[in-house]
A and B are shown apart, each in its own frame.
Chain A
Amino acid sequence: DIQMTQSPSTLSASVGDRVTITCRASESISTWLAWYQQEPGKAPNLLIYKASTLETGVPSRFSGSGSGTEFTLTISSLQPDDFATYYCQYYRRPWTFGQGTKVEIK
Chain B
Amino acid sequence: EVHLVESGGGLVQPGGSLRLSCAASGFTFDNYAMNWVRQAPGKGLEWVSGISLSGGTTYYADSLKGRFTISRDNSKNTLFLHMNNLSAEDTAVYYCAKAASSGSGSPLNSWGQGTRVTVSS
Contact = CB atoms under 8 A, between A and B. Distances in A.
Interface stretch (B10-18, B42-50, B66-74, B78-86): B42-50
A38 B44 CA distance: 10
B107 A97 contact: no
Contacts of B61: 94
A94 B45 contact: no
Interface residues of A, number: 24
A95 B111 contact: no
Interface in A77-106: 87, 89, 91-100
A99 B111 CA distance: 19
Given A43-B111, A43-B112, A92 B104 contact: yes
A49 interface: yes
Contacts of B104: 92-93
Given A32-B105, A87-B44, A100-B44, A95 B113 contact: no
Contacts of B113: 42-43
A9 B110 CA distance: 25
